[in-house]
């Protein structure tokens, strides 16, 4: 038996039994372990996936470190978006400062609406970046707690 895949709340294990030699062992195993999903039969082998109820700290830390990488990538994308939106907003504001409301009423209204939309986008993107920072801090704190349980 060996580890197949780690999930955030439990560890899926895999048990294999050769048939017909290990038929009795497979039957006993199935009496004492609840399969996760169907029992798989391949030619001369039975494959059973099951949850052993364990999720070791080392695996939790590894999963959280992967989450931190994804978080950093998301934050980087949001920073790029913020830069782009801010640049476009500055361009619109520069254009607006040159427009005469009496002579270019339609364009003034259009630019004012775009400025409002881009200001909202800047605000929402900054909030999203702050949320990424909060998530990252939470994950770092959880990793530190788990690391202390390993070193005890």
Please state, rounded to an integer, the average pLDDT across all residues of the chain: 88
81 confidence band (pLDDT: 50, 70, 90) = very high
Q: Judge residue 128's burial from the number of C-beta atoms within 10 Å of its C-beta, 0-12 exposed, 13-18 middle, 19 or more buried.
A: middle
pLDDT per residue as tens digits for the range 98-115: 999 888 999 999 999 999
* pLDDT tens profile 120-149: 999 999 999 999 999 999 999 999 999 998
Classify residue 26 as exposed, middle or buried by CB count within 10 Å of its CB (0-12, 13-18, 19+). buried
| Rounded mean pLDDT, 72-100 | 96
Q: What is the pTM of this model?
A: 0.67
């Amino acid at each position: 038996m060996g580890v197949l895949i780690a999930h955030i709340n439990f560890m899926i294990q895999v048990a294999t039994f050769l048939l017909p030699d290990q038929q009795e062992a497979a039957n006993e195993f199935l009496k004492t372990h609840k399969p996760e999903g169907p029992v798989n039969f391949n030619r001369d082998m039975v494959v059973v996936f099951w949850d052993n109820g364990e999720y070791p700290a080392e695996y939790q830390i590894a999963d959280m470190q992967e989450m931190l990488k994804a978080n950093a990538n998301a934050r980087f994308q949001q920073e790029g978006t913020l830069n782009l939106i801010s640049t476009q907003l500055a361009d619109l504001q520069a254009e607006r400062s040159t427009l005469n409301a009496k002579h270019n009423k339609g364009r003034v209204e259009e630019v004012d609406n775009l400025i409002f939309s881009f200001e909202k986008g800047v605000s929402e993107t900054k909030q999203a970046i702050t949320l990424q920072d909060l998530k990252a801090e939470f994950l770092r704190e959880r990793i530190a707690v788990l690391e202390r349980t390993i070193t005890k």
